[in-house]
Copies of this chain bind each other. A is one copy, B any other.
Amino acid sequence: MLHPLSTSQALRLWHDVGLAQVKDEEADLSVRQMTILLSIYLEPPPHTVRGLAAKLNVSKPVITRALDAMGKLGLVTRRRDDKDLRNVLIQRTVKGALYLERLGDTVSSVSKAI
């Protein structure tokens, strides 16, 4: 159970985390990409392009291109579905898990200073 944040606490948190990311030059992902990555890692598989596009209310090419970019960074992998060769199953990677764990740690750490 999370203690609810006030509006001003939320803004302070957003500012401090953003500042940490910008200064550390680690924020390579856009908000869209980050949300896609978090969906893949926080929600139960399987994840498909179609499903992610519907969930985020964006077009399929947006998902495809985001997967291209994050795949190039090693944060995500694609594999065809053996059951239905039209589908592409998006899979997690160790690097992606570490990336998000580091993000979570940053947020958690910043929250302790507010």
Taking Cβ atoms with an 8 Å cutoff, the residues of A that contact B are 2-15, 18-19, 21-23, 25, 27-28, 30-32, 34-35, 38-39, 41-42, 55-58, 100-101, 103-105, 107-108, 111-112, 114
Contact = CB atoms under 8 A, between A and B. Distances in A.
Contacts of A3: 2-3, 111
Contact of A56 (B19, B30, B58): B19
B8 A35 contact: no
Given A22-B56, A31-B31, A38 B14 contact: yes
Contact of A15 (B21, B28, B35, B111): B35
Interface of A is mostly: helix
A108 B19 contact: no
A19 B52 CA distance: 11
Contacts of A18: 31-32, 34-35, 38
Contacts of A57: 22-23, 25
Contacts of A30: 30-31
Q: Which 5 A-B pairs have the closest CB atoms?
A: A3-B3, A18-B35, A10-B107, A7-B104, A15-B38
